[in-house]
Structure 1
Amino acid sequence: MAIEQSPLRRARNRAVGFLIEAAQQLEVSPVLKYTALSLFACRFWPSLIRSQEHNSNIHWLLQPIQESNLQLFALISLWISSKIHNSKALMLKRLKAWGDKVITDQHFTKRDFSEAVLNFEIGNAKTSFMCLEELFYQFRLEVAQVGKHLNFEACMDLMDLLYEEETMMLHCSSSNLAASILVTCYLITVPKQKWEFPVLSWGLLSAVEFSTACEEEEIMELVKSQLQKLNGGWQEHT
């Protein structure tokens, strides 16, 4: 039986889904998309919750907190991400035009977009996606021949699910999360007869640990959690 989510958590999860859809429609690169998800889900959202819990001043664009203004800040995450990664950032006009089409219950001006940027500290540490991308190519080229069977699209799909479902896994280190996603996708996408390691849970993790200096025990726990969620189904969004 699915655990009922709070209205605020449902709004958060819908905003993350909105961000993923925006990234697809605007055809941004994966690194831009996942940096935006990291900015929104791992920086902006926890900061917003802390402000609520401590009755701190909240940006006027978030008063009250509702789906439309969370969507605005999701788009701002994409805009900031494009400034970090692209020599030519996403045009505000294009971003706003797309937002005007899909955010139907509220109209935001260019000034609103500009003011919303001030709610972020622009700058970004190495994201889980960057770690995953590096680990994926290292695994394919240096660690195992069977790496050619590993599907990177499946890795990104799993990362999307982790962002859409508010999970504590997102709060572990970027390298550990990336390593666990790689192992999970190895288990579910590479045919068993192709496995090169006699005991996957130890052999592959040893290779991952050697490559990233991650802690094997934590990676194993993350892999177990991901497999349980994939096998048992994610909590229903109500």
Structure 2
Amino acid sequence: MEESKIEMDRVPLVEFFIQSAERLQVSPIVKYSAFSFLADRFVPSLPTFIQADGTSSSSWLLRPVTQSTLQLFALISLWISTKIHNSRPLSIACFKSLADTSIKEQHFTTRNFLEAEVLFMQVLNFEIGTANIAFFFLEDLWVQFRGVAKVGELISIEVCMDIMDLLYEKEDMSVHFRSPKSLAASILVTSYVITVPKQKWEFPVLAWVNFVTSCKEADITRLVTKILKHVLRPS
């Protein structure tokens, strides 16, 4: 599958991922670790992996990569994430059952799941660290902010996560996930702007996130402006 094709399928893939995470009732850290595996690393790396691997030796799952296959890999990302973060990971049977009801164009067997997991890990070069994802920084900033500012009580982590989900759908925002700390700071500031009434804008939120994260205020302001365009006019 060419890179442009994968990009074209980004919105339905992200929507499928979000719906699957909700149906499985995974924790936020499982969801956003898996999101990072899938959207930040797997999908961008897949065209290069396919080209380097060659069609003669590729798995049938990659000849070609269909929307159903991408949905399978979305479930694989969640499965791997539960293995990392849950003391009792969700079983393969749980994911296969979800696939049977939600992936309409293709039926995947348990063996297919195991094969897809190996391919997924190969594309990621077997690197599944989760310390450098935007949600880690966002959650930490949110907790700190609620501790230093009274208006922090007005900002919910759910609003922050809704913004993050929306940004994952936007192709032109995907590059910013490569700078997770500045993205997290910008999402928090965006949540402040859209949630806190203007008459209560007394806390110097930009100066504070600059102090805590060392991200430049000008860079955060530019990114917040861009995020607000998507949040206020998501279509």
Q: Given the two structures, how large is their TM-score scaled by the length of structure 2? A: 0.88
**Is 1:151 equivalent to 2:149 in the alignment?**
no
Question: 1:36 corresponds to which residue?
Answer: 34
**Is 1:176 equivalent to 2:182 in the alignment?**
yes
Provide the rounded CA distance (Å) in 2 between the counterparts of 1:88 and 1:169.
Answer: 33
Residues 12 and 70 of structure 1 are in contact (CA less than 8 Å); yes or no, is this contact kept in structure 2? no
Question: 2:217 corresponds to which residue?
Answer: 216
Label 1:187 to 1:59 Cα distance change in 2 as closer, same or farther (>3 A): farther
RMSD between aligned residues? 1.7
Q: Comparing 117-126 with 90-99, which one deviates more in the overlay?
A: 117-126
**Is 1:186 equivalent to 2:192 in the alignment?**
yes
Provide the rounded CA distance (Å) in 2 between the counterparts of 1:165 and 1:195.
Answer: 29
**11, 15, 18: which one pairs with 2:16?**
18
Question: 2:130 corresponds to which residue?
Answer: 125
Question: 2:84 corresponds to which residue?
Answer: 84
Question: 2:46 corresponds to which residue?
Answer: 48
Provide the rounded CA distance (Å) in 1 between the counterparts of 2:81 and 2:127.
Answer: 9
Residues 162 and 170 of structure 1 are in contact (CA less than 8 Å); yes or no, is this contact kept in structure 2? no
Provide the rounded CA distance (Å) in 2 between the counterparts of 1:158 and 1:9.
Answer: 20
| Identity within the alignment, % | 47
Question: 1:164 corresponds to which residue?
Answer: 169
Contiguous gaps of at least 5 residues in structure 2: none
| SS, match of residue 176 in structure 1 | helix
**Is 1:27 equivalent to 2:16 in the alignment?**
no
**Is 1:72 equivalent to 2:72 in the alignment?**
yes
- Once the two structures are superposed, the pairs formed by residues 95-114 of structure 1 within 5 Å of their partners are 95-114=95-114
Q: Given the two structures, how large is their TM-score scaled by the length of structure 1? A: 0.87
Question: 2:7 corresponds to which residue?
Answer: 9
Question: 2:116 corresponds to which residue?
Answer: 116
Residues 184 and 226 of structure 1 are in contact (CA less than 8 Å); yes or no, is this contact kept in structure 2? yes
Provide the rounded CA distance (Å) in 2 between the counterparts of 1:59 and 1:164.
Answer: 28
Provide the rounded CA distance (Å) in 1 between the counterparts of 2:11 and 2:115.
Answer: 23
- Aligned residue pairs, count: 222
| SS, match of residue 105 in structure 1 | coil
Compare the two structures and name the one with the higher helix fraction. Answer: 2
Residues 168 and 174 of structure 2 are in contact (CA less than 8 Å); yes or no, is this contact kept in structure 1? no
